[in-house]
Amino acid sequence: MYNNVAMHLYDFLAINSEYLLIYSTVLKLVFLAGALNFISALGYLLKGKGSGKFYRISRYSHYSLTAALTLLFIILIEYHLTLSSITYFNPFEGGMVKFYIPVWIEKEKLLFWLWIYTMMVLYAERYRLKKFLASLYIGSSAFLIIIYLTNSFVPLPEMSTLIKQYLIWQAQPYFNSNAVILFKTIIGKYYLYTTGYMWIHPPMIFIAYAAFTVNFFANIFLIIKKDYVYDRVAYAYAKFGYFLLTVGLLIGYPWALKAWHGQSWWWSPIISSSFVLWFFYSAYLHSRLYIRDRGMLNVTAAFGILGYLGVILAYLVVYLLPGVHAYT
């Protein structure tokens, strides 16, 4: 068995080394496109008239950013599929097991959010609102700054480290208790990462968050411009995001029952903050029933902006406060 295990350890190290090089190279392209996108979009907004060249550069650099992110996720998907080809010894049941891991966990989830957001910005070009679009382009840079600050330069940093440690222990002449503990930790994370709900619940939530990001910018422009066209943009993205958020929360319910089995999960920080933002967007959509009254423009926009603050809160509590979501 140990020669076979050693081969798996070698395979894992080779896969990690190869994909880390490719991943970091494409990630540099993402940052390069994002920097050009930010500079040109900001130049367009600051220069005003006669800055069409800046807008064209920002538009094409956004296309480049979207393409680079798409390539990055193709690489991530291939990396995850390649990892699933490695087998691991199960000390509890005997035999070998494989791990299939989604591409929207650990630090990859922020990249997933940005990727979906850039595609939603492409769809927003149909409204032909150049200053609004330039602001959306700048919004991509905020994501990239957070990605840089969170050091998201290695795919699956926590899971890959655990797998590497386990394969090293597994290759020892005597399979000891440390390896068993490591395997139990991996299985615990693997269950949280790959239960059926995790293949549906997180992507729906992050796609909703991306839609709410566009809604946030549209509501800011609605307050500034007092133009109903921005309300139409905001409403279109809010409807889509609200539907996904609602369905995603409902799908997450049975997962919560299993993940928090025997525990009081209802008051988990991420659960509470998710319902807070759901109520804000419910209020936003309800307030639009009275949108013909121009006095309601600011009220509706305020609900949308507060809702997005709820999105930020829901994302931050994953890292700042304890709970099962902190492990995903």
* pLDDT at residue 201 in the model: 83
How crowded is the C-beta side of 327, counted as CA atoms within 13 Å? Answer: 15
Regarding whether 86 and 5 lie in a shared domain, the answer is yes
**Total number of domains constituting the chain:** 2
Q: Name the average pLDDT for the chain.
A: 82
CATH number at residue 67: 1.20.120
* pLDDT at residue 327 in the model: 47
Regarding whether 27 and 112 lie in a shared domain, the answer is yes
* pLDDT at residue 147 in the model: 86
Regarding whether 170 and 40 lie in a shared domain, the answer is yes
**Cα distance between residue 34 and residue 68, in whole Å:** 10
Q: Is residue 251 within 8 Å of residue 208, measured between CB atoms?
A: no
**Cα distance between residue 317 and residue 282, in whole Å:** 21
* pLDDT at residue 305 in the model: 94
Boundary residue ending a domain (189, 219, 235)? 189
Q: For residue 276, what are the domain limits?
A: 195-328
* pLDDT at residue 1 in the model: 47
Regarding whether 264 and 143 lie in a shared domain, the answer is no
> What pTM was computed for the model?
0.86
Regarding whether 105 and 223 lie in a shared domain, the answer is no
* pLDDT at residue 116 in the model: 96
Regarding whether 98 and 73 lie in a shared domain, the answer is yes
Regarding whether 220 and 154 lie in a shared domain, the answer is no
**Low-confidence spans in the chain with pLDDT less than 70:** 1-7, 49-50, 89-95, 171-180, 182, 184, 186-196, 256-268, 291-292, 294, 318-328
* pLDDT at residue 57 in the model: 94
Boundary residue ending a domain (189, 213, 242)? 189
Percent of the chain with pLDDT over 70: 78
Q: Which residues contact 314 (CB under 8 A, 6 or more apart)?
A: 270, 273, 274, 276, 277
Q: In this structure, which amino acid lies at residue 201?
A: H
* pLDDT at residue 109 in the model: 85
